[in-house]
Amino acid sequence: MAAISLLDTEIEDKIDSMNSSSKEIPPLITLIGDPEETFYQLGLKDREDFLSLFNHITQIISTPWKSVDRVVQELIKQIITRGLNCDSFLRFASAYAEGVERELEDVVYALLVPEMTAALSKWLPAIPTTIFGCSSYFAWNTKSQSPMHARILDFPLATSYDRYERALLHRFPGKPDIFSFGCVGMPYPALTAMTSAGVTLACHQKYTDVMNSKGTPIFHLLFKLLQQVSDRKSALEFLDGQNSITSWGIYLTFKDGDTLAYDLWGEERFAVKERVGPKKIFYYNNLPLNKNIKQSIFRPFGFESYCQMRHQSANKKITELKRKEPLNDLKLIKSIATPVTLAKEGPEQWRVDPVHHNSIAVATLNAKEGKALYIPGDAPKIYQGTVVEYSHLWEQNFKQRLHHKKSQEHILSSTVRDGMRQMILAQVYYDQKNYHLAYHHIQLSCDYLASTIHRNIPRIYFLIFQFIHESHTKGQYILLQSFKELRGELPPYLNDQCQLFVARLELMLYGRCTICVDDFITPALRNIFIYEQEIPQPLIHVVVKNATFPRLEILDVIYGHLK
């Protein structure tokens, strides 16, 4: 039988000045025994809260049409229950489903939604793409002579993930201990994890059009990897023998300083091997490791631009970190959880940081030391002076404590952070089809960020929300003027999106537009512009508004009316 326990929290610092949400330290749950039994025990613990996460995941892939939603959800359930060829995954999922008292299909559905939507949107563009927009930094702890793996997780589960976040410590007989960060509804320790064998892991989604029905679900595949590998050689041997369902990036460090970045796309694979050390810091996000593959040919069309901006910000951060040697885990997490200050204002200078409005988890992993750091509190997980430390994890008397810094030095303005939180709350409520609250929160974001360099980012989404729901001609004239005022005041990809809406409104109101094809720098959006010129004037609004899916988490707008 498995044993399950909650570690008592040891608070070493006074935290009177912290807000109520950041006082809650993510619990550390220990699981001892057979893996299948531990999944059942974890299910028992998650029984009351699983439905909340399941409903949120379901809302993420919803469309404006309930009948389509039901068909899509049933289609995904049929694929994942009839097409999966992985008995051990289904056994573990069944054990967890029994614990939470839910149908197996619901549990598998929740685990595989990111994989299935990435693949299905190839054939069903009306399904909004959901992406783990992730970042990993590999660095070196100079004092303890150990590799550090810093990880940022971006996904549109704010208010659910951060509410139910937790740490798990699996102690399986004859296997390495596995420590991981996750939340209720995620029984696999395979998203952000490390082992007593000295391995750290972060899983990044890579968006392509790969769909391999014979592949292994990624969380199950990585769970097996964590139990079996101890160095780069064994990790390569393991991964070279695996196939995934869709496209994933697997990022690993090992106790000797070796690192491995590995893209597994169905049956295709590509590896980058590095070695971390003093002043040697590496950054990765969701771009393909193979430079010959262009992300821009895949939906969502703005994802390459989004990833490139994060790379630029990360490179600036890495330069600053190298000046802070000797480097340790605490310095690393403070740096990566603090957005880069943008010195110059203007649309060409603006870029998103790896930690931003949709970052729902930020952690550092140091497997050699048995230590992990985590930013607690509500998303976005931007450093506000408090860090949770889990230490001595491979020993019996492991510890948990808070680091709290009262100084406001290098801490992001609370106004900017609040504005970012309002942006992601707008997306949460939009996914729930609560358009009144979505509108409310995007307006609040505009207000919070009005005097900052970020001001035009929520503003364009505010206008897009209006476009979708504004049916009166007078309101559309005002909206057209607002879009025109914003044109030229946005980063390049969002500026192309702005031009699309100017063209649409002009066609709707005047039957012709002042925008021309050469105004676009994004090939995919240029093609959409050309396509929409052929839509009859009376149909433009009804066609476009029902096929427009704002995705604030990746700074994009996805369209379902053409492939």
3 state SS of 252 = strand
Instruction: Tokens for 558, please give them.
Output: 């996805």
Domain at 211, CATH number:
3.60.60.10
Question: Residues 371, 487: one domain?
Answer: no
Answer whether residue 114 is part of any domain.
Answer: no
- pLDDT for 132 equals 73
Instruction: Tokens for 206, please give them.
Output: 């890579």
Q: Is the pLDDT of residue 143 over 70?
A: yes
Q: What is the pLDDT of residues 298-357, one digit of tens each?
A: 767 888 899 999 999 999 999 999 988 899 999 999 999 999 876 666 777 799 999 999
Q: What is the pLDDT of residues 194-226, one digit of tens each?
A: 999 999 999 998 877 787 878 899 999 999 999
Answer whether residue 510 is part of any domain.
Answer: yes
- pLDDT for 38 equals 94
Look up the domain containing 368 and give its range: 3-13+25-29+130-405
Q: Is the pLDDT of residue 252 over 50?
A: yes
Answer whether residue 79 is part of any domain.
Answer: no
- pLDDT for 73 equals 67
Answer whether residue 41 is part of any domain.
Answer: no
Other residues' Cβ atoms within 10 Å of the Cβ of residue 104:
17
Torsional sign, CA 225, 229, 231, 237: negative
Q: How far apart are CA 138 and CA 185, in angstroms?
A: 28
Q: How far apart are CA 269 and CA 211, in angstroms?
A: 14
Question: Residues 554, 496: one domain?
Answer: yes
Average pLDDT of the residues in 278-305: 88
Percent of the chain with pLDDT over 70: 86
Q: What is the pLDDT of residues 490-526, one digit of tens each?
A: 999 999 999 999 999 999 999 999 999 999 999 999 9
Question: Residues 379, 435: one domain?
Answer: no
Average pLDDT, the chain: 88
Q: Is the pLDDT of residue 191 over 50?
A: yes
- pLDDT for 166 equals 96
Q: What is the pLDDT of residues 37-53, one digit of tens each?
A: 999 999 999 999 999 88
pTM of the model: 0.91
Question: Residues 388, 443: one domain?
Answer: no
- Crossing angle for the helix pair 50-60 and 104-120, nearest 10 degrees? 20
Q: Is the pLDDT of residue 14 over 50?
A: no
Bin 511: left if φ > 0, else alpha if -120 < ψ < 50, else beta.
Answer: left
Residue whose token pair is 């220990």: 30
pLDDT band, very low/low/confident/very high, at 13 (cuts 50, 70, 90): very low
How far, rounded to the nearest angstrom, does the alpha carbon of residue 422 sit from its chain's CA centroid? 17
- pLDDT for 506 equals 97
Q: Is the pLDDT of residue 18 over 50?
A: no
The DSSP bridge pattern shows strands 28-32 and 268-275 to be: unpaired
User: Of the candidates 476, 338, 487, which has an alpha carbon nearest to the alpha carbon of residue 410?
Assistant: 338
Q: Which residue has the higher pLDDT, 206 or 468?
A: 468
Supply the DSSP symbol for 191: S
Percent of the chain with pLDDT over 90: 67
- pLDDT for 110 equals 85
Question: Residues 203, 328: one domain?
Answer: yes
Q: Total domain count for the chain?
A: 2
Q: How far apart are CA 202 and CA 149, in angstroms?
A: 8
Average pLDDT of the residues in 403-410: 69
Answer whether residue 336 is part of any domain.
Answer: yes
DSSP bridge pairs for 135: 152
Other residues' Cβ atoms within 10 Å of the Cβ of residue 543:
15
- pLDDT for 4 equals 52
Question: Residues 482, 394: one domain?
Answer: no
Answer whether residue 382 is part of any domain.
Answer: yes
User: Of the candidates 18, 3, 5, 84, which has an alpha carbon nearest to the alpha carbon of residue 385?
Assistant: 18
Residue whose token pair is 């010959």: 292
Q: Is the pLDDT of residue 11 over 50?
A: no
Q: What angle do CA 54, 400, 170 make, to 5 degrees?
A: 55
Q: Is the pLDDT of residue 119 over 70?
A: no
In sequence order, the 6+-apart residues with CB closer than 8 A to the CB of 84 are 90, 108, 217
pLDDT band, very low/low/confident/very high, at 16 (cuts 50, 70, 90): very low
Question: Residues 394, 419: one domain?
Answer: no
3 state SS of 427 = helix
Q: Is the pLDDT of residue 21 over 50?
A: no
Q: Is the pLDDT of residue 22 over 50?
A: no
Query: Where among 405, 431, 451 does a domain terminate?
Result: 405
Q: How far apart are CA 246 and CA 31, in angstroms?
A: 30
Query: Where among 381, 405, 429 does a domain terminate?
Result: 405
Answer whether residue 19 is part of any domain.
Answer: no
Question: Residues 321, 470: one domain?
Answer: no
Bin 217: left if φ > 0, else alpha if -120 < ψ < 50, else beta.
Answer: beta
Question: Residues 497, 401: one domain?
Answer: no
Answer whether residue 73 is part of any domain.
Answer: no
- pLDDT for 300 equals 79
Question: Residues 305, 334: one domain?
Answer: yes
Question: Residues 204, 334: one domain?
Answer: yes
pLDDT band, very low/low/confident/very high, at 19 (cuts 50, 70, 90): very low
Q: Is the pLDDT of residue 379 over 90?
A: yes
Other residues' Cβ atoms within 10 Å of the Cβ of residue 545:
17
Average pLDDT of the residues in 227-232: 98
Question: Residues 358, 393: one domain?
Answer: yes
Average pLDDT of the residues in 427-453: 94
Query: Where among 357, 380, 405 does a domain terminate?
Result: 405
Q: How far apart are CA 72 and CA 158, in angstroms?
A: 23
Average pLDDT of the residues in 393-414: 82
In sequence order, the 6+-apart residues with CB closer than 8 A to the CB of 295 are 207, 286, 287, 288, 303, 304, 307
